[in-house]
């Protein structure tokens, strides 16, 4: 056997994604490069690691066992790297964060300088839907989550990071009369909703309920990015967080529609399980945020406050 750590990483990612294409995307490698690594790794075993059924790759039982061993080996290698850094007096370890999709416009700015200060810290950040974020928190698989609405059935501690302002948004070129009542604005407005469970959707539905509005539901989409692209295409309107709209507003592709009761302001909150024992890395990150968050907000988010 003469396999390399890189081959182990590539094979493990293929198993996790069950796709050479997705593995190449997540590893930032070309698809041919991933295929070559897989072939070279497979050539060292007399038993198939994968099978191709139709056009889909299937992992054999033997392949899954090898993947489990590969994951353990890579974890041990990372542990060696962390211990080496610790002996050198450097902060080292893994910072695990899960965020809802819209938070991708927020979280990176609170991470950049911290990661630059501590190059031995490895970041694992999952961008997914709210349900999976909460599941990761419940299962203690992550250090922190970033959400705009707190989970209702879990005790958490939190650090408020940034205001989350939501406005009624539409494509430019459509005029709205000034000083219209909220009922008149929404009367014939086709609305685009986020999926069930989304914090943005919950906020939007509460506004509709509080205002006692009858609305036209045009469609339901899984991400704020999909909602934004649909608005740009002229498919409808939505109540959306301002944070992801900077470019479209500055270039005049989208407009904020003045509406009584808007904006709605929630809060981007970094949360963790109540009583969680933080690792040295997560404890240091939390301390860093408490000291620097106002400075980061002033530097990176002044435009949306």
Statement to judge: residues 201 and 278 lie in one domain:
no
With a cut of 70, list the residues of the chain below it in pLDDT: 82, 85-90
Three-state secondary structure string covering 94-131: EEEEEEEHHHHHCHHHHHHHHHHHCCCEEEEEEEECHH
Instruction: Kindly report the pTM of this predicted structure.
Output: 0.73
pLDDT of res. 170: 96
Tell me how far apart the 2 most distant CA atoms of the chain are, in Å. Answer: 75
Q: Which of 86, 101, 119 is the last residue of a domain?
A: 86
Q: pLDDT per residue over 40-90, tens digit each?
A: 999 999 999 999 888 889 999 999 999 999 888 887 877 777 677 665 666
Residue 106, burial from CB neighbour count under 10 angstroms (0-12, 13-18, 19+): buried
Q: pLDDT per residue over 210-234, tens digit each?
A: 999 999 999 999 999 999 999 999 9
| H or E stretch covering 145 | strand 144-147
Statement to judge: residues 82 and 152 lie in one domain:
no
Which residue range(s) make up the domain with 283?
91-162+267-304
Statement to judge: residues 139 and 271 lie in one domain:
yes
Statement to judge: residues 253 and 289 lie in one domain:
no
pLDDT of res. 80: 77
CATH code where residue 67 lies: 1.10.10.10
CATH code where residue 224 lies: 3.40.190.10
Report yes or no: 265 and 163 within 8 Å, Cβ to Cβ.
yes
Mean pLDDT of the chain: 91
């Amino acid at each position: 056997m003469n396999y390399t750590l890189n081959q182990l990483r590539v094979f493990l990612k293929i198993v996790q994604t069950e796709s050479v294409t997705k593995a190449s995307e997540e590893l930032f490698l070309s698809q041919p490069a991933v295929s070559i690594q897989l072939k070279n790794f497979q050539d060292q075993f007399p038993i198939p690691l994968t099978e191709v059924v139709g056009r889909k790759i299937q992992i054999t039982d033997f392949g899954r066992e090898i993947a489990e061993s590969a994951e353990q080996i890579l974890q041990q290698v990372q542990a060696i790297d962390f211990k080496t850094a610790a002996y050198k007096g450097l902060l080292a370890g893994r910072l695990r964060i899960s965020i809802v999709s819209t938070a991708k416009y927020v979280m990176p700015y609170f991470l950049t300088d911290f990661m630059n200060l501590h190059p031995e810290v490895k970041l694992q950040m999952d961008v997914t839907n709210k349900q999976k974020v909460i599941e990761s928190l419940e299962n203690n698989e992550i250090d922190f989550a970033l959400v705009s609405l707190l989970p209702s059935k879990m005790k958490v501690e939190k650090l408020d990071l940034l205001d989350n302002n939501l406005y009624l948004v539409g494509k430019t070129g459509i005029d709205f009369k000034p000083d219209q009542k909220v009922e008149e604005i929404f009367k014939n407005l086709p609305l685009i909703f986020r999926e069930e469970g989304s914090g943005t959707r919950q906020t939007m539905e509460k506004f509709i309920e509080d205002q006692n509005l009858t609305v036209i539901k045009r469609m339901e989409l899984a991400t704020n990015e999909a909602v934004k692209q649909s608005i740009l295409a002229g498919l409808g309107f939505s109540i959306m967080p301002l944070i992801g709209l900077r470019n479209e507003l500055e270039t005049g592709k989208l407009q904020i529609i003045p509406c009584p009761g808007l904006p709605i302001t929630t809060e981007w909150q970094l949360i963790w399980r109540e009583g969680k024992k933080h690792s040295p890395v997560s404890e240091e990150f939390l301390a860093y945020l408490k000291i620097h968050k106002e400075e980061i907000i002033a530097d990176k988010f002044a435009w949306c406050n």
